[in-house]
Structure 1
């Protein structure tokens, strides 16, 4: 696992957005935009257990993240790695992310929704800009 540079950590710690790439059953890429944070050199984000990316990662844990800041889209961080998932802490993580990105608690999940913490461990890292 490669260590993240200080500039990569700073990009993740800022209000940067990540495009998540997972692999559909037919091999096509599936992309979605998520809020991210960092625990050590792992990148973490939240999703619902009912989402396509959860099903894709459950079947094939390979994942790519492309992380950018809206005000500097040509400076980016690409992380290719492996995802692990756990429901423990899912509700807390989405609330923490909502506070980071919007300054408000998260209130958008429907009753009974199951939140999942996705932890991405880097296998390959590319920085640009």
Structure 2
């Protein structure tokens, strides 16, 4: 079943707020990383580099959690639980898109010009549960 995000959640996710992505380590313990996030409809996109712990964790166990809060009002937040898939970011398009969303035009230059051996991946999160104040609004 696809979860439909309400307008308040979409607005929060579309603003350049840092997010915290939590994946599961091999021992079952949590591993959290501060990330930038973008939205593709009701799915969430994150960019990472091949070989990072979050990539290895997702490849083994796709269950993830992502928390975003409004930096101007930390009591406005959303937690998205879901499953993640990994795909190569061909041409680093998603990495550049997300960087420019957070840093403005030209903000993705470092990703676009990175050496070819620095392979970027797209983490695509399909929500299965949405919690938090923003999830209740709208």
Distance 1:27 1:116, change over 3 A: same
1:92 alignment counterpart:
93
Q: Please identify which structure carries the higher helix content.
A: 2
Aligned to 2:128: 123
How many matched pairs? 129
Unaligned runs of 5+ in 2: none
**What stretches of structure 1 of length at least 5 have no aligned partner?**
none
Give me the whole-angstrom Cα distance separating, in 1, the residues matched to 2:57 and 2:73.
30
TM-score after normalising by structure 2? 0.87
1:50-89 mapped onto 2 (5 Å cutoff): 50-89=51-90
1:79 touches 1:126 (CA, 8 Å); kept in 2? yes
Higher strand share: 1
Tell me, in whole angstroms, the C-alpha distance in 2 between the residues paired with 1:70 and 1:64.
19
What TM-score, normalized by structure 1, do the two folds share?
0.93
C-alpha RMSD of the superposition: 1.6
Residue 47 of structure 1 contacts residue 115 of structure 1 at CA under 8 Å; is this kept in 2? yes
Alpha-carbon spacing, 1:99–1:35, altered in 2? closer, same or farther (3 Å): same
1:17 Cα deviation after fit: 1.6
> Would the alpha carbon gap of residues 53 and 89 (structure 1) be closer, same or farther in structure 2, given more than 3 Å must change?
same
